[in-house]
């Protein structure tokens, strides 16, 4: 698959993850989809999340991981793909580091 189609699919999956989590969450924590890394063969995708407040990260991550089958069905119903990737949700460590740097710069 060419680069443009790969990037377009990656963006679509990121947007779908954001809308799915917005619909499914009970809104006790703010879950933001920060990135989507799609494997070159497009058989797997990692969705990166940022969670506020930080102490709700573990609960939000376990919630997202429990919802993987429903998210896969959600993607299947909205995107015509020959193969729907297997998804994994992870906390975006890079975003946490960026926030920490911003915090230190403000001090």
pLDDT tens-place values along the chain, 107 residues long: 588 999 999 999 999 999 999 999 988 899 999 999 999 999 999 999 999 898 999 999 999 999 999 999 999 999 998 899 999 999 998 877 877 888 888 88
Instruction: Copy the structure tokens of residue 93.
Output: 């460590």
Closest CA to 60 of 86, 25, 92, 85: 25
Alpha helices in 1-107 (DSSP H): 3-24, 57-66, 68-78, 93-106
pLDDT at 1: 54
Which domains are seen in the chain, by residue range?
3-106 (3.30.300.20)
Q: Which of 100, 89, 99 is nearest to 66 (CA)?
A: 89
């Amino acid at each position: 698959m060419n680069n443009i189609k790969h990037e377009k699919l990656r963006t679509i999956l990121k947007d779908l993850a954001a809308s799915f989590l917005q619909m499914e969450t009970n809104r006790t924590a703010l879950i933001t989809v920060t990135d989507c890394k799609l494997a070159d063969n497009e058989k797997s995708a990692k969705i990166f999340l940022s969670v506020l407040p930080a102490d709700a990260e573990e609960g939000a991550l376990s919630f997202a991981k429990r919802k993987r089958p429903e998210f896969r069905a959600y993607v299947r119903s909205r995107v015509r793909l020959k193969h729907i990737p297997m998804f994994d949700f992870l906390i975006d460590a890079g975003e946490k580091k960026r926030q920490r740097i911003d915090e230190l710069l403000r001090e």
